[in-house]
Chain A
Amino acid sequence: MNRLDGKLGLLSALPLALVLLLSFLAPLVVVALFSIMPPKVFSLANMPDFSAYSLFFSQGYYKSLLWSLGMALSATAILVVICWPLAYAMAKVFGRFSLILTVAVVMSLFVSENIRLFGWVLTLMKGGLIEGHLRAWTGMGFESPLYSVPIIVFGLVYVYLPFMLFPLAQGISMVPDDTRQAAYDLGASRWQVLWQIEVPLAAPGIVVGSLLTFVLAAGALAESKILGGQAVIAIADDVETAFTFGQNWPLGSALSMILIVIIGGLALFGVSKVDLDAIMGRKR
């Protein structure tokens, strides 16, 4: 039976492996090769040089990268705090309501993120849903919070909430109730239980959720474009500009490569930490 299993496993992995080889791995190799081409060429048949990478420092592109990483980091930190109580309730307190909440959150994911972000523009702009009604009722308006750095972080928090919530809830559900109860019985305070029992035992969920949100937020484009106006330029925005207006593929590739190395490193680290059999196959 085992040899048959081995053969069938390999065979059934082939279609997906082929899809990912041709549409994930190969393109990444092409990006890596393009990033060492001389400026403004559109084919790989050129003498390699590293001029595109030097532009990263001399043209100030590192600032966009730092902004993107900083905003992603803030969004991740905020998300851990706001998702924790909800994830805790989903795993331990809500019964049926957990299901309703899950369906509601998943359904919001099916709406294109730019429609949802555009909805925030309509909600928060001057004369928008909130300010417009407030002014009509009380006569007092306020300046629109749009087109600033905090609103971009807000957009990231909004869009990536599900990617933090579900891993966290999964992590918290792995904390045994007995352990928590035992700690309380031994006289631990609420904070001690949180920091010494719940956080360490739910760590896999926290790590996966944080990495997922950080990585996706660091490469995000729509939030800074739609909500942020020109307040700051995200690194993904620089990459896009290099490809479209700049017509400079090697520059765009070099900027992508820097992002890919940071994100890929974190993703590999995160993926190596998860035991998928334990998370997904708990029924067996």
Chain B
Amino acid sequence: MTTSRSTRIVLYVYGILVIAFLYLPLISVGFASVSQARYLSFPIKRYSTKWYGEALASSTVSDLLTTSLSVAVLVTLISVVVAFFGALAFARYHWRFRTTFQKLILLPIFFPQTVLGLALLMWFNSLGIIPSWKTAVVAHLVWIAPIATLIVAIRAYSFDPALEEAARDMGAGTFTILREVTLPLLMPGLVSAGLFAFLLSWGNFPLSLFTTGADSTLPEWLYAKMVSGYSPLVPTLGVMSVVGSFVLILAAFAVAWLVRANRDAKVAQD
């Protein structure tokens, strides 16, 4: 394929501009979080980290973090288990309603999340369940479990069914095959699905809005403060939430790199 040199340069510049466009607002939030003034205005006159100190000392903040973390951890665990089996049904086994199943699980992804949250609120109400952070877990699952399934399914597509058949021919039962052959093969997909599930749940706002009852997650609290008056803690907590996510992603990349380096070293030894 021939693309002229100047076109290539224009396209690279365009790509870099789009990345800058995506991250520019985060830079503003970052600057705002270290401004000392209670009422923010640029250019910032005095920098200080006092809002960070205040955020760390506040009990509201630690409640918010606990709630967000509990929701995200539970959503991750359940999504990974559901996605493991879901992906096999999606990509590996040839069964009668497979294509219907594939399309069905896409529907929640195509749905406005605010409306889903409201629908869940009414559903819990008619069941007599009082909303709390636990019901928010259910709400997040509607959207996140299908996404996790798609991620594992990409991995499941690339594996060779002959490996399972070989195990079966040698006398392994269905359960043994799942544990000894399928699970290790899908592991990288499960890890990335878990990572996606955690991060998407951690940052999700529209699904939590109506389903957490009296509890509040971090994004919900930030939204409440944004639409009703400014608090200097908004940019600070925003930055803390973003940094938390990015540290987790970097850690995941580091672990993946170490595992690969380790394996390469072993192969080199053999």
| Interface residues in chain A, defined as those with a beta carbon under 8 Å from any beta carbon in chain B | 1-2, 4-17, 19-20, 22-24, 26-28, 30-31, 34, 42-44, 85-86, 88-90, 92-94, 97, 101, 104-105, 107-123, 127-129, 131-133, 136, 158, 161, 177, 180-181, 211-212, 215-216, 218-222, 225-226, 236, 239-240, 243, 249, 252-253, 256, 259-260, 263-264, 266-268, 270-272, 274, 276-277, 280-281, 283-284
Contacts and interface: CB of A to CB of B under 8 A. Distances in A.
- Most chain B beta-carbon contacts within 10 A, residue among A119, A252, A270: A119
A15 B85 contact: yes
A127 B203 contact: no
Contacts of B109: 212
B25 A117 contact: yes
A221 B113 CA distance: 10
Contacts of B101: 13, 17
A115 B23 contact: no
A179 to B, nearest CB: 12
A243 B25 contact: no
A26 B28 CA distance: 42
Main secondary structure of the interface of B (DSSP, over half): helix
Given A270-B110, A280-B154, A23 B43 contact: no
B204 interface: yes
- Most chain B beta-carbon contacts within 10 A, residue among A43, A122, A180: A122
A276 B42 CA distance: 48
Contact of B93 (A9, A113, A115): A9
A115 B219 contact: yes
Contacts of A122: 25, 28-29, 31-32, 40, 42, 235
Indicate the size class of the contact surface on chain B: 35 or more
A16 B29 contact: no
Interface string B173-212: 0100000000000000000000000011011111001100
A89 to B, nearest CB: 4
A110 B82 contact: no
Given A42-B125, A267-B111, A280 B119 contact: no
Nearest to A162: B22
Contacts of A277: 102, 157
B114 interface: yes
11 contacts: A6-B94, A9-B88, A22-B138, A27-B119, A28-B119, A31-B118, A105-B22, A112-B238, A211-B110, A259-B115, A281-B91
B11 A256 contact: no
Contacts of A127: 40-42
B12 interface: yes
Contact of A118 (B29, B106, B110, B114): B29
Interface string B77-95: 0000111011011110111
A145 B36 CA distance: 26
Contacts of A16: 82-83, 85-86, 89, 105, 145-146, 149
Interface string B204-242: 111001100000001100110011000000110010011
